[in-house]
Structure 1
Amino acid sequence: MIKHNNIIELLKGVKVEFLPLWEVTTWDKKFNAVDNYKQKNIIKYNYLLANKLKMLVSNNGNVKLLTTNTTDLWTTEDLAGERVSEGEIVAIPWGGNVNVQYYKGKFLTADNRIATSNNQDLLNNKYLYYFLLKNVELLNSFYRGSGIKHPNMAQILDLLIPIPPIQLQTEIVRILDTFTELTAELTAELTARKKQYNYYRDKLLTFKEDEVEWKALGDISEKIYSGGTPKTDIAKYWENGTIPWMSSGEVNLTTVYKTEKFISETGLRNSSAKFVPKNSVVIALAGQGKTRGKVARTRIDLTTNQSLASLTFDENKVNSDYIFHFLNTQYENLRQISSGNGARGGLNLQMISSYKVPIPSLKEQDRIVKILDKFEALTNSLTEGLPREIELRQKQYEYYRNLLLNFPKVEDK
């Protein structure tokens, strides 16, 4: 594993020259407000509209379709025809949000601004890519416009890039590539595990009508009730609050161990908020975006807002985690039955109460939960499993990227 001390030793005493991008890169077109001496040469590429580009997608292609977003789309040389370009390049979009991409090989491009090194013995293209990635926020400040934002290329070309010896650039690229590849491997593993999880979840939670008894949630729940929100303009309802209060957006956490907000005892007494015991199931009755119909389970005692329905169960009769897992497969159905069926539609307690679920034996419920919880932890948990591992690797990569590319300027010494 790469160590901090090794990086410090690698960078120790290195001589670095800071040069403007226009001096060490060649771009794809002449830019307004950029002096001619800063763009002595250009390399033209064939551009296609985004919708035209995606019409060329082929599963067996070897020509990259370089959209303005990060995608994994390809086409064939036959489909690309004379429009194909080839090279080692770094691209940023001409309009929209900043997205830095690196590619080496044959490609077709949408409306990107494309750069390549003037001299590979002076500037490594992949090093240029990592430098721009490190400075995404700065690049973003150069994108302006009231509608679709476009980059001020004069400012971008005047950016100063640190140029250490080419051997060190190559080593920096190798180190950062190692982190990138590890994250990519973990992400691919997560995708595979999610597919596996979905397969087993659907298999375990699909029942024939005569295999189990289907019962309404209202018949198997001890309680079904919605919450409430203490008045936000009364400070004593919220200040120094110790009672967890769950908003509708937090249903997307899937398993709730903590909440962002807390209410006071006074706030609880003076609102329609109610205590929800841990190991309950919570369903979003309404909410922004695609929240409506989402399901979560609680691992703490809490209260909720009025857009959430809470379901409690007698664990000697029904495993609440089993209900959680099954209702997670019913997202589309729950949205379809909600009133209005549109963006403003909503579920209500009566709909939830009458919704039927399959109820196998408690022993079978426990078995299903045990299997699915393992997959849940591996694929969705932010405290363990692959998501946590990916997050840690990404932070590690960003730390070392900043360390490796943070060369002091002469005036900073």
Structure 2
Amino acid sequence: MSDRGFLEKLLDGVSVEWKLLGDEDLFEVANRGRSPVKASLRVAGQTPYYGANNIQDYVDGHTHEGEYVLIAEDGSASLENYSIQYATGKFWANNHVHVLRGQQNVNTRYLFHYLCIVNFVPFLTGGGRAKLTKGQLVQIPAPIPCPEDPEKSLAIQAEIVRILDSFTELTAELTAELTAELKVRKQQYNHYRDQLLSFEDSDVEWKTLVEVADFRRGTAITKKQTIEGDIPVVANGPVPTYTHGEHNREGETVVIARSGAYAGYVSYWNEPIFLTDAFSVHPHDGVLKPRFVYYLLQNKQDQIHAMKKGAGVPHVRVKEVELYDVPVPSMKEQDRIVAILDKFDTLTTSLSEGLPREIKLRQQQYEYYRDLLLSFPKPEEAA
């Protein structure tokens, strides 16, 4: 069945009329919300407080109660800067939020799903800081199936809501399931990593890190000084800041961020990189393997972060890391430990990366069916 056929089957021959949100028989456009006293003086409470960025706080008191659709605006002439929220019960909406709902013949949840696909830009006024005024809001049309037969109309609206809500619920369930699975895997990974790297009951030699590894500082560089290329520039964070046409490290490299908010962050690279605001740890050949050292340092990540000094721009000093005690097991034992931890790392990384991908896929499915179910012919198309 074609997409249009799917919608036609749902409508079962009934007509669709486009009604303006200003039609008081079908819609209630409530007064805008209002801002309470400034944030520092607000009374904390249980009521969600909606503003330009959705729920911003929880306060005492409320401006509305019931089932409503909220159109939150941030004053930018862009569809992406308008968020549609569905609120029930008591809530506080500030003056950046339009509040509306369906009357007895319009399902408010149906109205919510439809408004999620409305392009508000043609209805904005005010130039650079364009706004959606109430006068313009009431000019927005919404499709109502067979309004002359309220019972039939509400049944069709309810079926559309049921289908779309089922996608929302499945996404929420899947997210909760994958998040719980990821949490369990991370706990297992941390448990085995702690156990494998403790060496409490093992007759293993311990050395300071400087005795078994060399430390090399990165080279200062700015983005303007880079040349075109695809070499990651690794500085003081978990991801490269930009790219460069040259490298100053290659092969397996253990990196510790030197300054900034991520000072002390431990990372591992096995590709050419250009190291700047950080230092690298290079284990002596035949003594320690880079990947094993990475896991040792990662296991003590909190302790390394705690080495930060300085109030303005915190930094980690190489001298303190050099004195860190590390075990030196046999190369064979290091290989065994690395192989086990790599498997856990691969599993947790796969789950971590798979979660947002899966959520995005479910969201795309929801949007596809939402657009399909709400693609009623406009009056000019019907003509």
* TM-score after normalising by structure 1: 0.66
Aligned residues: 353
Check the 8 A contact 1:214/1:358 in 2, yes or no.
yes
Pick from 98, 101, 124 the counterpart of residue 85 of structure 2.
101
Partner Cα separation in structure 1 for residue 91 and residue 223 of structure 2: 56
Question: CA 1:157–1:320 in structure 2 vs 1: closer, same or farther (change >3 Å)?
Answer: farther
Deviations 1:22-71 (A, max 9, x none): 22421332x6xxxxxxxxxxxx99989878988334xxxxxx64544556
Check the 8 A contact 2:124/2:133 in 1, yes or no.
no
Check the 8 A contact 2:18/2:143 in 1, yes or no.
yes
Deviation at 1:145, TM superposition (A): 8.8
Check the 8 A contact 2:236/2:259 in 1, yes or no.
no
Aligned to 2:103: 118
Q: Is structure 2 residue 135 aligned with structure 1 residue 154?
A: yes
Check the 8 A contact 1:227/1:309 in 2, yes or no.
no
Larger radius of gyration: 2
Question: CA 1:175–1:220 in structure 2 vs 1: closer, same or farther (change >3 Å)?
Answer: farther
Partner Cα separation in structure 2 for residue 116 and residue 71 of structure 1: 19
Aligned to 1:38: none
Partner Cα separation in structure 1 for residue 299 and residue 306 of structure 2: 13
Check the 8 A contact 1:215/1:359 in 2, yes or no.
yes
Deviations 1:312-366 (A, max 9, x none): 5579754545544554455554444234144x22335445444455666423443
Check the 8 A contact 2:70/2:98 in 1, yes or no.
yes
Aligned to 2:238: 251
Partner Cα separation in structure 2 for residue 365 and residue 355 of structure 1: 20
Pick from 245, 264, 267 the counterpart of residue 296 of structure 1.
267
Partner Cα separation in structure 2 for residue 54 and residue 187 of structure 1: 33
Deviations 1:176-214 (A, max 9, x none): 212211211122123323432443344334476955766
Q: Is structure 2 residue 282 aligned with structure 1 residue 306?
A: no
The unaligned stretches of length 5 or more in structure 2 are 76-80, 147-152
Pick from 161, 167, 170 the counterpart of residue 173 of structure 1.
161
Partner Cα separation in structure 1 for residue 236 and residue 373 of structure 2: 38
Partner Cα separation in structure 1 for residue 17 and residue 100 of structure 2: 20
Question: CA 1:374–1:220 in structure 2 vs 1: closer, same or farther (change >3 Å)?
Answer: farther
Aligned to 1:399: 368
Listed as ranges, the matches of 1:10-409 within 5 Å are: 10-12=6-8, 15-23=15-23, 24-29=26-31, 55-57=44-46, 65=48, 67-68=50-51, 86-93=65-72, 98-104=82-88, 106-111=89-94, 112-119=97-104, 121=105, 123-135=106-118, 138=121, 152-165=133-146, 166=153, 167-206=155-194, 210=200, 215-221=207-213, 224-227=216-219, 229=221, 232=224, 237-238=227-228, 241=229, 243-248=230-235, 251-252=238-239, 262-264=243-245, 268=246, 273-277=247-251, 279-286=252-259, 290-299=261-270, 301-313=271-283, 318=288, 320-325=290-295, 327-328=297-298, 330-342=300-312, 344-356=313-325, 361-362=333-334, 363-378=336-351, 380-381=352-353, 385-409=354-378
Check the 8 A contact 1:46/1:85 in 2, yes or no.
no
Check the 8 A contact 1:280/1:310 in 2, yes or no.
yes
Partner Cα separation in structure 2 for residue 54 and residue 216 of structure 1: 54
* TM-score after normalising by structure 2: 0.70
Q: Which amino acid aligns with 1:304?
A: F
Question: CA 1:9–1:329 in structure 2 vs 1: closer, same or farther (change >3 Å)?
Answer: farther
Question: CA 1:351–1:150 in structure 2 vs 1: closer, same or farther (change >3 Å)?
Answer: farther
Deviation at 1:72, TM superposition (A): 12
Partner Cα separation in structure 2 for residue 142 and residue 358 of structure 1: 67
The unaligned stretches of length 5 or more in structure 1 are 32-43, 58-63, 253-258
Check the 8 A contact 1:98/1:139 in 2, yes or no.
no
Question: CA 1:231–1:318 in structure 2 vs 1: closer, same or farther (change >3 Å)?
Answer: same
Question: CA 1:310–1:46 in structure 2 vs 1: closer, same or farther (change >3 Å)?
Answer: closer
Q: Which amino acid aligns with 1:346?
A: H
Deviations 1:231-255 (A, max 9, x none): 7367xx31xx3x4223548724xxx
Deviation at 1:221, TM superposition (A): 4.0
Check the 8 A contact 2:71/2:98 in 1, yes or no.
yes
Partner Cα separation in structure 2 for residue 164 and residue 308 of structure 1: 63
Deviation at 1:73, TM superposition (A): 9.5
Question: CA 1:347–1:135 in structure 2 vs 1: closer, same or farther (change >3 Å)?
Answer: farther
RMSD: 4.5
**What percent identity do the matched residue pairs reach?**
26
Question: CA 1:214–1:72 in structure 2 vs 1: closer, same or farther (change >3 Å)?
Answer: farther
